Each structure stands twice: as structure tokens, then as C-alpha cells.
Structure 1
């Protein structure tokens, strides 16, 4: 795997973790946890898409 693609693996694992945390928060009836985990998923996806755009513009993808 190229060095630049490791960050995408890390971001995918973080997104999966936040999605699992949403499930745990729903099970624990924690609205705060659901909201924070949802914000975390959105933030990780936003970081990933912006990183992909930057790498595509530089010709690394």
C-alpha cells in the first residue's frame, strides 16, 4: 500500500468506530453520545473527502 493511502485506512477505521459508538449510545439511551458520535462521523468523512481532493489535485491518487 502506498504511503499516502494509509491515512484513508485510518480514517475508515475511525469512521467505523464512530458508527459502532452510535449503536452503543442508542443501546445505552444516551442522546448526547448519539449526537457526538454523529458529529464525529461527519467530521471524519469531511476530513477524508478533503484529503482525497488535495491528493487528487497533486496527482498522488
Structure 2
């Protein structure tokens, strides 16, 4: 049975919200908004990959087929 990995889900939701923010900032013609959302996506995805690596090293993730 697969269990939900809450930290990874949290990072995925935040990254998706930041990507949506890029679209909203483009629609509002806000260069600062676009840049800040791009920086946020890069930061959040980096944290997500870092967390996934730590979870894999600690044996908290099951092997993928």
C-alpha cells in the first residue's frame, strides 16, 4: 500500500502555485512578479529534491520499480 509523503506533496503544491503565479504575473504585466515567482519555483523545487534525497537516504521512500 502506498502512503502519502506529505512533505513532498507540500512542495509540489507550492511549486504548482508558483507556476500559476508566473501566469498571473504575466497577465498583470508585472516583471517583478514574474521574476519573483520564477525564483520561488527554483527554490521550492530545489528544496523538494533535497528533501526527497534525504528521505531516500534515510530509507523513508520505498524502492521504485
Q: Distance in 1 between matches of 2:54 and 2:44?
A: 15
Q: Which residues of structure 2 form unaligned runs of 5+?
A: none
**RMSD in angstroms over aligned alpha carbons?**
0.8
Residue 51 of structure 1: aligned partner: 51
Aligned pairs for 1:1-61 within 5 A: 1-2=3-4, 5-61=5-61
Deviation per CA, 1:9-56, whole angstroms, max 9, x where unpaired? 111110110000000000011000000000000001000000000111
Of Structure 1 and Structure 2, which has the larger fraction of its residues in helix? 1
Q: Which has the larger radius of gyration?
A: 2
TM-score (norm 2): 0.86
Q: Which residues of structure 1 form unaligned runs of 5+?
A: none
Q: Distance in 2 between matches of 1:10 and 1:54?
A: 16
How many residue pairs match? The answer is 59
